[in-house]
Amino acid sequence: MTKNKNYIGIDISKLTFDVSILDEKDKYKHYKFTNDLDGFKKLSQLLNYESDVCVMEASGVYYLKLATYLFSIKISVCVINPLVIRRFSQMRMIRAKTDKKDSSVIADYGKTETPDLWRPEENYVLEIKQMQAYVEQLNKSRTSLIRQREAFKYNTVYASEMNKSLDNMIDVLENQIALMENKMVELVNQNHKDLFERLNSIPGIGRKTSMLLIVISGGFTKFENAKQLCSYIGISPRVFESGTSVKGRSKICKMGMSRIRAMLYVCSWSAKKNNKACKELYDRLVEKGKSKKLALIAVVNKLLKQVFAIATKNEYYLEIN
């Protein structure tokens, strides 16, 4: 990005969003709008599509409509991880925490760091992400009911109608989970059929994991190498050392997506038995005295490298093994 870009900070919430724009005196002017189409149009009247770049945090789903609207009218948009903005604010030793101040901090971040521009995701990706969040909630409800049913078995009185209701509710949840998961796989098949089949050819990688990897990577277009993918998911090693006296244990940096990380960890159990390269890696690390958990995390990294290679080389696992 060129230096003449004007970075505009937007702190967005469910109902409103605060905006900080530099004026001619190089001071921030503050505005507040409603988080709806009327507010979006009022903001757009203040913007110059040739020079202005709107910077906002990825605050849940509240930013999405505004970011999409600005993109549709040719305004440049940057969407930043809220943790990044928080660390930037701490680095500048800013103590005030108001929506007005936050919007100016976000603008300062954009001006200082010149982040990459944002593009809206495909509709099918957004649809899958919504269904995935819904499925996770259904799974939590199902697990809660199953535990409750198990606990009731130890009661001295058997409530037949209640237990029948519990069984029915669990069946309904399981049917809905299966329905949503099949729909998600169907959507991925419609848009990335060949890629989906190739990822499924990797021993240890199942349909659900393949689907989520395709979704989070944009069909493996968002990352240049496997290292970036590992970092995004949050399984890259984090070294903790300082000087000659501090030698902490290396751990994975859990700053990625917990759901896909958990699924990949489960995949590693199968991969260490059925995937030749992963089995050799796991056995070698265990023989060296490494913990089984650490060896499984190494298997996850190996799986992701295989996934990235197969996705980008347009080959099947059996053809390159």
- Taking Cα atoms as reference points, which of 216, 218, 215, 196 lies closest to residue 206? 196
Is the pLDDT at 118 greater than 60? The verdict is: yes
pLDDT > 90? residue 13? yes
Per-residue pLDDT for 290 more than 50?
yes
Lowest mean pLDDT among 135-144, 244-253, 273-282: 244-253
Q: Given pLDDT bands bounded at 50, 70 and 90, which one contains residue 242?
A: very low
**Residue 206 structure tokens:** 């199942």
Q: Give the residue-averaged pLDDT of 239-243.
A: 42
254 pLDDT above the threshold of 50: no
Amino acid 306: pLDDT: 94
Whole-number pLDDT of residue 303: 94
The β-bridge partners of 77 are 54
Q: Taking Cα atoms as reference points, which of 222, 218, 233, 317 lies closest to residue 277?
A: 317
The pLDDT of residue 172 is: 97
* Per-residue pLDDT at 238: 44
Q: Would you state the pLDDT for residue 216?
A: 87
Lowest mean pLDDT among 61-70, 76-85, 192-201, 221-230: 221-230
Q: What average pLDDT does the segment 215-225 reach? A: 88
| pLDDT classification of 236: cutoffs 50, 70, 90 | low
In the block, tokens 């993109």 appear at 71
DSSP string, 84-153: HHHHHHHHTT-----HHHHHHHHHHHHHHH-PPPP-PPPHHHHHHHHHHHHHHHHHHHHHHHHHHHHHHT
CA nearest neighbour of 96 among 7, 11, 17: 11
Rounded distance between C-alpha atoms, residue 226 and residue 67, angstroms: 29
Q: Which of 74-78, 229-233, 271-275 has the lowest mean pLDDT?
A: 229-233
| Averaged pLDDT, 297-309 | 93
Q: Is the pLDDT of residue 318 over 70?
A: no
Q: What is the mean pLDDT of residues 250-263?
A: 62
Over residues 72-91, the mean pLDDT reads: 92
Contact 18/99 with Cβ under 8 angstroms? yes
Res. 112 pLDDT band, cuts 50 70 90: very high
pLDDT of residue 257: 62
pLDDT at 61: 86
User: Averaged over 84-88, what is the pLDDT?
Assistant: 91
Cβ contact 284:298 at 8 Å: no
Residues 217, 26: Cα–Cα separation, whole Å: 39
Rounded to 5°, angle at Cα 93 from 88 and 96: 95
Range with the poorest average pLDDT among 1-10, 85-94, 98-107, 213-222: 1-10
